[in-house]
Amino acid sequence: MNFTEADLPVEINHEQMVTLADGTSIRFETNGEAKDVYVGDAFNPTVQLFPDCDHLVETPHGMFKVTAMFTDTVMVQKA
C-alpha cells in the first residue's frame, strides 16, 4: 500500500512508501535493527536510522520528519 502526504502522519512498514505532493517518495528497508531510508529514486540509502532516531527531509512543499520505530516501521510526519 502506498500513502500520500494527505495521509500524514503515518507509520509504514518495509513494503509501503509515502509519496509527497511534489512526487518525492520515502521508503525504507530493514538492515538488522537499523532502517535504511531512501528518499526519491535513490539506489543507495539516504540515511540509516536506528530506533527512536529521526531525519528531516526537505522538499519545496516543506519539511518532513522520518522516525525509526522500535517495531519494523518508520513514522513519516510533517515537521
**Helices marked H in 1-79:** none
**Integer Cα distance of 39 and 45 in angstroms:** 8
Q: What angle do CA 66, 5, 16 make, to 5 degrees?
A: 65
**Taking the complete model, does pTM exceed 0.85, yes or no?**
yes
Q: How confident is the model at residue 69 (pLDDT cuts 50, 70, 90)?
A: very high
**Integer Cα distance of 66 and 75 in angstroms:** 6
Give the tens place of pLDDT for each residue, 9-65: 999 999 999 999 999 999 999 988 999 999 999 899 999 999 999 999 999 989 999
